[in-house]
Every structure is written in C-alpha cells, then in structure tokens.
Amino acid sequence: MDEIKEFIVENELSDKVIIKGFIEEGDLERLYGEAIAVIMPAKISIAASGPLFHANSYGKCAIASRVGNFLEEIDNYQTGILIENDRWQDAFQYVANHSKEVAIIENNVLKKAKSRSPLIIAQKHYDIYKTMVA
C-alpha cells in the first residue's frame, strides 16, 4: 500500500488517482464468497484488469463500465455485464432479479478462468516461442 502511494506522489499523479481503501489479502476469499457480483467502475481502462482476473478466478459476475479493455474481456451477459456509467441501477436490478442468468454467467466465467490459468498461458507463450526459433 505504501509503495503504491509513494509511486503516485513521485509521479505527480495525486490529482488523477483517488485511493478509496485497500482490502487485506486475508479478507478476499470471504468477501468474494459473500459477493453476488463484483463492481468495476471506470472512466478509462487500459491493459488487462487485475480486479477482473480476480473476480473471474472466484467465478463472480463482474459488472464493469463499458470502456477500454473491459469491452474486449467481457462478453456482455455471457461472462459479465457491461454498463454505461450512468446506468448502474440497471445492472444492479438485473443481478437482483435474474439469479438463474447470473448463475450461468458465473459458470461461464469459471470456464474462462480455467482456460486462462497461469500454466496454460505460459504454455501458449512457450509454444509460440518454439515456432519462432525453430
């Protein structure tokens, strides 16, 4: 936590980054277990999302802003829910009223997470590397 805060100050990002809080690693499993969905609001999003990776690894339905990499990583209503930032209530209402559909999303997310395990990704990179040096 201190390292992140120092990075923000050193790189003059204090006016661009707001830290609302941190979750202790030991609390993650309990919180994901209790979650019905994981909310990921953003105005911009670049590169792969660590929080999305975590939500997927726990088999949770992510509700994310319809921006950046979320557009590439989430199949809307298949592996999560993409939402405009002024329509969060629609996503919350959907999750509250469609438990069977959310369960299908969670099942799809677990399948996706298993197909993207670190070992599988490493093997894919290794296979590509072998074709390039052969």
pLDDT digit string, tens, across residues 33-90: 899 999 999 988 877 778 898 899 899 999 999 999 999 999 999 999 999 999 999 9
Farthest CA pair distance, the chain: 54
E-assigned strand segments in the chain: 37-40, 61-65, 81-83
The predicted pLDDT at position 101 comes to 98
The predicted pLDDT at position 110 comes to 93
